[in-house]
Amino acid sequence: MTAAAQAVLAVLLLAWGVLLIGGWLIDFGGRTPRNRLPLPTRMATSAVLVAAALVWWQAGTAGTALAGYGLLIFVGMALGFVGDLVMAKVIPTPNRVIFGMLAFGAGHLCYIAAFVGLGRSLGSTPATPLAAIWLGYVLLSALLWYTLIRQPARGRALNIGTLVYALLLATMAAAALALAVQDPRLLPLALGGVLFIASDMFVGSELMRGTSFRFIGDVIWITYTVAQMLIVYSTAIVLQGM
């Protein structure tokens, strides 16, 4: 990777941090009891990460054995940004929850494909630990869904949809942890998966059960955007391991 590309990535990471911390500390207007971070700031943090993922792909992994990994991380992040815009009603849809889950779900499939492919290139890991990781995440996510999200009054479709999404997210996080088991330097990637689960459990509980507390939106967003940042910028660790 060229020095110029590294500088761009550093600037983008700094911009992401300034948007997140500055938006929290300084009132530029648009604050509500749910969100201290205004909508434009939240969307901007995701847009910055899409740009960073693009740079990692084009300037970091393109032309290497990791080109597919970089592409999948970029597409996954871009689909997450689409999901953000849908959930925020910036992109109008007939049902923001369903269409948002579809966008995020497609993004998670990209992440899963990236992580599984990378795991194969790192070498084989005994099947038993991998199965245990996946089963543990799936059972935990199912329990959290049942405890925090399940709401029969919201209808069968939404309940099934949120459960399927929770299990898909668990699979993504498990794949990230499996990589960290193979290479402990990738623990930030695994942490990104855990934070993603935490964020989406709050989202699901708010949407399905009406859970509310002061600045719940910021709890959701901060855990989410930090998760995405860790996934995108863990590409640096992946490249070091080539």
Burial class (CB in 10 A: 0-12, 13-18, 19+), 50: buried
State pTM to two decimals.
Answer: 0.94
pLDDT of residue 242: 64
pLDDT of residue 31: 86
Residue 224 or residue 241, greater confidence: 224
Rounded to an integer, what distance in angstroms lies between the CA atom of residue 38 and that of residue 27? 9
Q: Tell me the pLDDT band of 124, cut-offs 50, 70 and 90.
A: low
Calculate the alpha carbon distances from 217 to 50, 88, 222 in Å. 21, 11, 9
Q: What is the mean pLDDT of residues 71-100?
A: 96
pLDDT at 125 over 70: no
Secondary structure (H, E, C), 63-125: CCCCHHHHHHHHHHHHHHHHHHHHHCCCCCCCCHHHHHHHHHHHHHHHHHHHHHHHHHHHCCC
pLDDT tens per residue, range 131-189:
899 999 999 999 999 999 999 999 999 999 999 999 999 999 999 999 999 899 999 99
pLDDT of residue 126: 65
pLDDT at 96 over 70: yes
pLDDT tens per residue, range 19-72:
999 999 988 778 888 999 999 999 999 999 999 999 999 999 999 999 999 999
Q: What is the mean pLDDT of the chain?
A: 94
Q: What is the mean pLDDT of residues 82-110?
A: 96
- Say if residues 81 and 50 touch (Cβ distance below 8 Å): yes
Nearest to residue 105, comparing CAs of 87, 128, 124? 87
Nearest to residue 185, comparing CAs of 111, 145, 113, 237? 237
